[in-house]
Amino acid sequence: MFAHGFRWGTFLRPYRRGLGALAALSLVEIVLRVLAPFALAIVIDSALGTSPLSGWLTRSLDALGLATGRHDLLVIFAVVGLLLQLLHQLVVMFHGQLSVTIGQGMIRDVRERLFAHMQALTLKHHAATPTGEVAQRLEGDTRCIDQLLLRGVFPVAFSALTLLIMFCILVRIDVTLGLLSLSIIPPLYVWLRFYARRMASPADHARRTDSRLSSRLHEIFVSIRLVKSHAREDHEQQRFSRVAGDAAHAWIHVGRQGAVFSIVNGVLTVAGSTLILIIGGVAVLDGRMSIGTLMLVLTYLGYVYGPMQAIANTSGGMQQALASARRIREAFTVVPETLDAPSAIAASGIRGTVAFEDVSFAYVPGMPVLDHVTFTARPGDMIALVGPSGAGKTTLASLLVRFYDATAGTIAIDGVPIEQYRLGSLRQRIAIVLQEAVMMSGTIRDNLRYGCLHASESEMIAAARAANADEFIAQLPLGYDTVLGEAGSGLSGGQRQRLSIARAFLKDAPILILDEPTAALDTISEQQVVDAVRRLWAGRTTFVIAHRLSTVREATRIVVMDKGRITAEGKHDELRRTNDLYRRLASQLTDTPT
Ligand code: ADP
Q: Looking at residue 438, which CATH number applies to its domain?
A: 3.40.50.300
Domain that holds residue 137: 8-333
| Ligand 1 site, residue 162, Cβ cutoff 6 A | no
Q: Looking at residue 29, which CATH number applies to its domain?
A: 1.20.1560.10
Distance CA 291, CA 297 (A): 10
Query: 511-515 and 541-545 as β-strands: parallel, antiparallel, unpaired?
Result: parallel
Mutate to test the pocket of ligand 1, among 360, 361, 371, 395 (most ligand atoms within 8 A of CB): 395
Residues 203, 252, single domain; the answer is yes
Residue 238 lies in a domain: yes
Distance CA 66, CA 69 (A): 9
Residues 549, 582, single domain; the answer is yes
Amino acid (1-letter code) at residue 114: L
Residues 548, 517, single domain; the answer is yes
Residue 348 lies in a domain: no
pTM score of the predicted model: 0.73
CA of 391 to the centre of ligand 1 (A): 8
Residue 370 lies in a domain: yes
Protein residue whose Cα sits closest to atom 11 of ligand 1: 390
Radius of gyration, alpha carbons of the chain:
36
Residues 155, 26, single domain; the answer is yes
Q: Which atom number of ligand 1 is nearest to the Cα of residue 389?
A: 4
Protein residue whose Cα sits closest to atom 18 of ligand 1: 363
Distance CA 179, CA 173 (A): 11
CA of 542 to the centre of ligand 1 (A): 21
Report pLDDT for 416. 92
Last residue of a domain, one of 304, 333, 362: 333
Residues 138, 217, single domain; the answer is yes
Residues 409, 542, single domain; the answer is yes
Residues 405, 295, single domain; the answer is no
Residue 594 lies in a domain: no
How far separated are the first and last CA of the chain, in Å rounded?
55
Protein residue whose Cα sits closest to atom 15 of ligand 1: 390
Q: Which atom number of ligand 1 is nearest to the Cα of residue 397?
A: 6
Report pLDDT for 112. 92
Q: Which of 184, 199, 185 is nearest to 314 (CA)?
A: 199
Residue 2 lies in a domain: no
Residue 347 lies in a domain: no
Total residue length of the chain: 594
Residues 128, 256, single domain; the answer is yes
CA of 81 to the centre of ligand 1 (A): 76
Residue 224 lies in a domain: yes
Report pLDDT for 594. 39
> pLDDT tens track of the chain, all 594 residues?
444 457 788 888 899 999 999 999 999 998 998 888 888 888 888 888 888 878 788 888 888 888 778 888 899 999 999 999 999 999 999 999 999 999 999 999 999 988 988 888 888 788 777 777 788 788 888 888 888 888 888 888 888 888 888 888 888 888 887 888 777 778 877 877 787 777 778 887 888 898 888 878 888 887 887 888 888 889 999 999 999 999 999 999 989 988 887 788 788 878 888 988 998 899 899 988 889 888 888 888 777 766 766 666 666 677 778 888 888 888 888 877 667 788 888 888 889 899 999 999 998 888 899 999 999 999 989 999 988 888 899 999 999 999 888 999 999 999 999 999 998 889 989 998 887 777 877 888 888 888 788 888 888 888 888 888 888 888 888 888 888 876 666 777 788 888 888 888 888 889 999 887 655 555 566 677 777 778 888 788 999 998 877 778 888 999 999 989 999 888 888 888 888 888 888 787 766 543
Residue 342 lies in a domain: no
Residues 409, 317, single domain; the answer is no
CA of 363 to the centre of ligand 1 (A): 8
Residues 129, 209, single domain; the answer is yes
| Ligand 1 site, residue 293, Cβ cutoff 6 A | no
Structural domains of the chain, count: 2
Bridge partners of residue 560, in order along the sequence: 386, 568
Residue 181 to residues 89, 288, 291: CA-CA distances in angstroms?
Answer: 26, 18, 17
Residues 144, 111, single domain; the answer is yes
Residues 136, 248, single domain; the answer is yes
